[in-house]
């Protein structure tokens, strides 16, 4: 299948979606898969310093909140000293799970993104946020992509889930199920929580790279729900992109993600077309809140 997307088409689509605002990043020097070179020597000392500050802020928050798989992989990756060299971690990752890291200019077309995942390549944005974006950033940067996403790719089951998700994305594009499938990515890969013997822990990259949501998402008595992941339910649930999540879906294991996404989704997309979407703060009658107010 031809998975190349013309740059003009993509930039035109993005400009439409974001009311004409320019996409951040340099899209002038890339190949047909939006892959660029990470020009590591071009990062400034100020950028490496900002990375260290971001890293240290997260590290103070993560013990007892992030899942063990994340904390252990991150320690081995040894990326506290500055913006990492993608190639080094990519080799280590390939040895562990057969995934590689590819550098990209920023947001990339859906088709290109799914094609990378389906081929066990994780796209990581090359640029770092500005100091004034320390707490909040609109588009994903190298800190979110690398710090947030790469550690879990060292876990074999999660790595397999991510590949399957990419394959599922290519299929959903043909079936008109993209909105639904995107919700699953959002509520698992980006904002997922996992039940462990020690308590609920974070595995979602959007939380793990966030200054505020790490604590918020595990706090009782907020307006946010914590409910067991049911895949069909998740596919129906709208999400917030400009505030903390109002629902967190909790899994029991990465195997649950892999097994739950094995079936053919064609009938699910079909069925959901005749059902209402659910607002982000929904709690259905038969659902139990896993972190109720005390
Ligand atoms: N198995 C799903 C299908 O047949 C695809 C999928 C894979 C969906 C992984 C989500 C995650 O459409
Ligand atoms: Co992300």
The full DSSP string for 101-125 is EEEESS---HHHHHHHHHTTEEEEE
Euclidean distance between CA atoms 142 and 278, whole angstroms:
32
- Cβ–Cβ under 8 Å, residues 88 and 77: no
By most ligand atoms within 8 Å of CB, the mutation choice from 181, 182, 190, 260 for ligand 1 is 181
φ and ψ at residue 251, rounded to 5 degrees: -100, 165
Q: Tokens standing for 212?
A: 């505020």
Q: What is the pLDDT of residue 1?
A: 57
pLDDT at 5: 74
Beta bridge partners of 248: 226
Query: Among 134, 122, 213, 128, which Cα is nearest to 162's?
Result: 122
Specify the range with the lowest mean pLDDT, choosing from 16-30, 78-92, 138-152, 243-257: 16-30
At residue 122, φ and ψ (nearest 5 deg) are -105, 120
Ligand 1 center from residue 168 Cα (angstroms): 4
Q: What is the pLDDT of residue 16?
A: 61
In percent, the amount of the chain with pLDDT more than 70 equals 95
What distance in angstroms lies between residue 169's CA and the mean position of ligand 1's atoms?
7
**Ligand 1 proximity of 264 Cβ (cutoff 6 Å):** yes
Residue 17 confidence (pLDDT): 63
97: Cβ–Cβ under 8 A, 6 or more apart, which residues?
A: 120, 153, 154, 155, 156, 159
Please give the distance, rounded to the nearest whole angstrom, from the Cα atom of residue 140 to the centre of ligand 2: 6
| Per-residue pLDDT at 20 exceeds 60 | no
Which amino acids are annotated as binding site for Fe cation, given as ranges?
144, 149, 190
Mean pLDDT of the chain: 95
Ligand nearest to the CA of 164: 1
| Ligand (nearest to CA of 192) | 2
Q: From the CA atom positions of the chain, what is the Rg in Å? A: 19
What letter does residue 144 receive in the DSSP assignment? I
Does residue 257 line the site of ligand 1, with CB under 6 A? no
Residue whose pair of structure tokens reads 């895949």 in the numeric block? 231
Residue 14's pLDDT band (cuts 50, 70, 90): low
- When pLDDT is cut at 50, 70 and 90, the band that residue 10 belongs to is confident
Cα 255 from Cα 267, distance rounded (Å):
22
Model pLDDT, residue 3: 64
- Look at residue 15 in the predicted model and tell me its pLDDT: 60
CB atoms within 10 A of CB 81: 10
- Residue 25 pLDDT grade (very low, low, confident, very high; cuts 50, 70, 90): very high
For the segment 27-35, the average pLDDT, to the nearest whole number, is: 94
pLDDT at 6 over 80: no
269 lines ligand 1 (CB under 6 A): no
Mean pLDDT of 195-208: 98
């Amino acid at each position: 299948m031809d998975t190349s997307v013309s740059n003009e088409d993509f930039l035109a689509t993005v400009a439409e979606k974001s009311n004409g605002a320019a996409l951040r990043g340099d899209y002038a020097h890339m190949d047909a898969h939006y892959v660029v070179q990470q020009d590591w020597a071009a990062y400034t000392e100020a950028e490496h310093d900002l990375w260290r500050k971001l890293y240290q802020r997260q590290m103070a928050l993560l013990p007892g909140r992030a899942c063990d798989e994340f904390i252990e992989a991150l320690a081995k990756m040894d990326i506290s000293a500055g913006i990492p060299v993608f190639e080094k971690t990519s080799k280590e990752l390939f040895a562990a799970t057969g995934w590689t890291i590819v550098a990209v200019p920023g947001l990339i077309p859906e088709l290109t993104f799914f094609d990378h995942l389906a081929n066990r390549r994780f796209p990581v944005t090359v640029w770092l946020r500005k100091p004034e974006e320390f707490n909040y950033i609109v588009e994903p940067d190298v800190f979110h992509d690398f710090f947030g996403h790469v550690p879990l790719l060292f876990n074999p089951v999660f790595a397999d889930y991510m590949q399957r998700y990419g394959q599922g994305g290519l299929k959903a594009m043909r079936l008109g199920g993209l909105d639904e499938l995107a919700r699953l990515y959002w509520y698992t890969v980006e904002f997922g929580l996992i039940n462990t013997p020690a308590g609920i822990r974070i595995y979602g990259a959007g939380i793990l790279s966030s200054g505020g949501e790490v604590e918020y998402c595990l706090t009782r008595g907020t307006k946010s729900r914590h409910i067991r992941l049911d895949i069909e339910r998740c596919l129906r649930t709208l999400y917030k992109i400009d505030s903390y999540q109002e629902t967190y879906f909790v899994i029991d294991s990465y195997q649950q993600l892999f097994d739950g996404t094995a079936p053919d989704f064609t009938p699910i997309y079909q069925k959901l077309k005749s059902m209402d979407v659910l607002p982000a703060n929904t709690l259905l009658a038969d659902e139990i809140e896993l972190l109720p107010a005390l």
